[in-house]
Chains A and B, each alone.
Chain A
Amino acid sequence: MAPLDRANVDTDAIIPKQFLKSIKRSGFGQNLFDEWRYLDHGEPGMDAARRKPNPDFILNLARYQGAQILLARSNFGCGSSREHAPWALQDYGFQVVIAPSFADIFFNNCFKIGLLPIVLDVADVDQLFTEVEATAGYRLLVDLQDQSVTTPSGKSFSFDIDPFRKHTLLNGLDEIGLTLQHMDKIKAFEEKHRAAQPWLFT
């Protein structure tokens, strides 16, 4: 787990706008937190291996390499609706983000791509920050089925998740496919809606 000790981390910080020009869905990981992570200015198409990493940025520390869980502060992911933000986190290697609170659109986008955002109490997040900063190689166990996060000392925190979202995540279901199973209902609604507000269908 890697700790990012800042509140209100916005989507411009997670993935700066110049990388949003891509028409692809992958490859954003190397530009995750670009302005904090590198000392030079990043532009699309640059070779990450030739860039100057910022040695002070938390994700560049040797002890946090390979982290799959990001520990963050409140209102993580505020700002724009860019799904590039969760794409970048996932492409970098994160599977879970833990914070006391998330911005609504970001939170929602995470589920759509199979990145799990977990909300824990402020005090519990504080405790995790203290522990992860004190212990190199600190590992948390996240159990989605059980809805729990367990520390190396065996302390367990439970988290809430909407049952439908849990079901789609655990089974890797395609939400569009699921919605299309309700095709008849959508068509029936549409007919009723058209009759009531015909001006919407011109």
Chain B
Amino acid sequence: MHTLYDKLWQSHVVHEESNKPDGMTLLYIDRHLVHEVTSPQAFEGLKLAGRKPWRLDSILAVADHNVPTTRRDYGISDPISRLQVETLDQNCEELGITEFRMNDLRQGIVHVIGPEQGATLPGMTVVCGDSHTSTHGAFACLAFGIGTSEVEHVLATQCLLLKKAKTMRVAIEGHLGHGITAKDIALALIGEIGTAGGTGYAIEFAGSAIRELSMEARMTLCNMAIEAGARAGMVGVDDTTVDYLRGRPFAPKGDLWDKAVVYWRTLKSDEGASFDKTISLDAAQIKPQITWGTSPEMVAAIDGKVPDPSQITDIVKRHDMERALKYMGLAPNTPISEIRPDKIFIGSCTNARIEDLRIAAKVVKGRHIASNIKLAMVVPGSGLVKHQAEQEGLDKIFREAGFEWREPGCSMCLAMNDDRLESGERCASTSNRNFEGRQGPGGRTHLVSPGMAAAAAVAGHFVDVREIY
């Protein structure tokens, strides 16, 4: 009896450096996603060593972090950002790597376009120089983020030297309440186990509530596994997985498709397989979640309050909480629903897929953003998501409600382009990290689901989305 993680690991072992179970293993990599920020030094290293990419057809590249979300026809105004994107373009052109350029309809956030294109398939090992690569685990892949040295290693050898992780099963049983999403599951879980709770583990999400989730929602959940400290998150294959992939451009066709599906259906943990750790959450108990601090584990439900550091006995924890509240400009015991954001960001590899935009649009339809909201923006995850949303008229709903409708990219999730918070500004954000300065120096981030961000936009303060729709 094997876990899904064991199956994925075993099917990619090329060589073991020692015969001990915790030794370093050379693992074969099927899919290498590349973006502009973590690759230039790897390409340079490859060139300096006189090496070539091992397998070109395993690589898919896209620029997403530095790209502007307005007026693409003007190009990239920041010369340093522009050079980084041009460097990716040049490297891909020189080496013959498939790249979706900035003005290609298929361009978007790397973790949105991989699955969208069917470039992410069950049973694969998927890597990218980006921690949110865990997203792809939603397809029963072993997918994880790597550093630039490892990007070069995969380019040169198609392999990585890795240590096997421990396994954690996160079981979410029961049914999610109306208006509760994968984002709320992720934040509730991180609130429970902490941002280091999954360190050293690969998480498999299981249970009836997970089976009921769409692929988009499973991607949101696996995306946030890294915020729980786990390098990889994953979900076993079922009909939802197979149905999502059918007909995608990079997915197999005809006989190969049939053969692939037979194999993919084996990609789930065997009944009774043992995990190193198991966590259980009752889906019905999960409420809309909002972070109040500077780490995703600093989270509360919408009907909760900002905690009081004076009640914390652990001195390191108390100091961290005091520092976080000072940075966030929040007083202890403030009801969460009294917090008033200045800006709204709906986007990122966590929550910028079509389903996310549909939920947010449903909340804002026929309403308008509150007068205290300085800027509300929707940044679709890819050109194709944007196109689909426009076909459905979602752009019109957002625009009429006072939102800006932007071009796809990472945008204000990490503020490497021009989209950022000013110091002291507070943001309801559907992204994944609320670290100090993440969305701009001095900016204050509250992580929420798309529905909650949309609800905060129209109410002018955080509010339970379940009261709105």
Contacts and interface: CB of A to CB of B under 8 A. Distances in A.
A155 interface: no
Contacts of A189: 14, 28
A79 B435 contact: yes
Contacts of A35: 436-437, 441
A180 interface: yes
Interface string A159-202: 00011110000000001100110100110011001001111111
B195 A176 contact: no
A31 interface: no
A81 interface: yes
A8 B435 CA distance: 10
B196 A74 contact: yes
Given A163-B18, A175-B161, A78 B437 contact: no
Interface in A95-130: 101-105, 108-109, 112-113
Interface stretch (A11-19, A46-54, A61-69, A146-154): A11-19
Nearest to B433: A79
B260 A78 contact: no
Interface string A16-47: 11101111110000000001000001001100
A41 B441 contact: yes
A113 B145 CA distance: 17
B49 interface: yes
A180 B158 CA distance: 10
In this complex, the member of A13, A108, A176, A185 whose beta carbon has the largest number of chain B beta carbons within 10 angstroms is A176
A81 B145 contact: yes
Contacts of B133: 81
Given A103-B196, A103-B229, A22 B80 contact: yes
Contacts of B131: 79-81, 105
B246 interface: no
B80 A44 contact: yes
B143 interface: no
B430 interface: no
B149 A83 contact: yes
A90 interface: no
Interface string B28-66: 101000000110110011000101001101000000011
B156 A176 contact: yes
B448 to A, nearest CB: 19
Contact of A81 (B80, B147, B158): B147
Interface in B195-234: 195-196, 199-200, 226, 229-231
A20 B130 CA distance: 12
B229 A75 contact: yes
27 contacts: A6-B320, A7-B320, A8-B196, A8-B295, A12-B433, A12-B436, A18-B416, A21-B80, A23-B40, A24-B41, A35-B437, A35-B441, A82-B38, A101-B196, A104-B229, A104-B231, A105-B144, A105-B226, A112-B150, A162-B24, A176-B157, A182-B159, A189-B28, A190-B55, A190-B158, A199-B256, A202-B252
Given A10-B433, A25-B41, 8 more contacts: A81-B133, A83-B148, A84-B148, A104-B165, A163-B18, A165-B24, A179-B161, A199-B121
